[in-house]
Amino acid sequence: MSLPPIVVFDLDGTLAETAPDIMRVLNVILARENLSALPLERARELVGAGARALIERGFKVSGRALDTATLDRLFEDFLDIYAEDAASGSYLFDGVLSAMDRLAQEGHIFAVCTNKPIRHTRLILEYFGITGRFAAVAGRDSFPVFKPDPRHLTLTIEQAKGDPRRAVMIGDSKTDILTARAAGIPSICVPFGYTDVPIESLQPDCVIQHFDELPAAVARVLAPDAIAC
């Protein structure tokens, strides 16, 4: 029996706009250290590389040095605060569920492959009531490796029992593109996620402006004679 084609989604900035909750928690951390809150508009340059990097970047733009011991302490605080309310200010991007419905009707299965810790990943998916849509959910700590190591993606596909020869990565960042490229898997990116450069400049296989375009883009990059969008 052949394995089904699989569409693998990043989470932050791809499936959902999660920056409001991430920035809220960062500002709690900054306030504890007597630093001013940062506006949501700074999220594009701060979010996307994990909580530890987020804290480092937040302190850097606030003009304060951060030693390793303090970073370790604040990182653990961040994870605990975030787990208390990971998604009340977040929302799924328009059209993503209807696109998944169409792809499911065409025989595709789905997975999540994110560098967010698995605890928070599951909390967010549960908040939106979509956990059951995914054959596998993999976070930063699900395997010994994480993106941009291609094994994070290939192990996620294996766990979902999808066909790696008919797999596509949906993301919003350089990390997603590099991961997919190293795994020999096409990437489709959205331009409204968390990247500090235009996503087109990073040369994914395809860029979509809205999730209504996703089913056609998946068909195109998985076609035997596939060419970039």
Catalytic residues: 10
> Nearest to residue 50, comparing CAs of 125, 121, 130?
121
Give the CA count within 13 Å in the CB-facing half-sphere of 183.
Answer: 30
Q: Six-digit token pair at 211?
A: 């999730």
Whole-angstrom Cα distance, residue 53 to residue 49? 6
Q: Six-digit token pair at 206?
A: 């395809």
> Nearest to residue 111, comparing CAs of 48, 182, 163, 179?
163
- What are the phi and psi torsion angles at 202 (to 5°)? -90, -5
- Asked whether the beta carbons of 180 and 197 are under 8 A apart, the reply is no
Whole-angstrom Cα distance, residue 190 to residue 170? 8
Whole-angstrom Cα distance, residue 223 to residue 166? 9
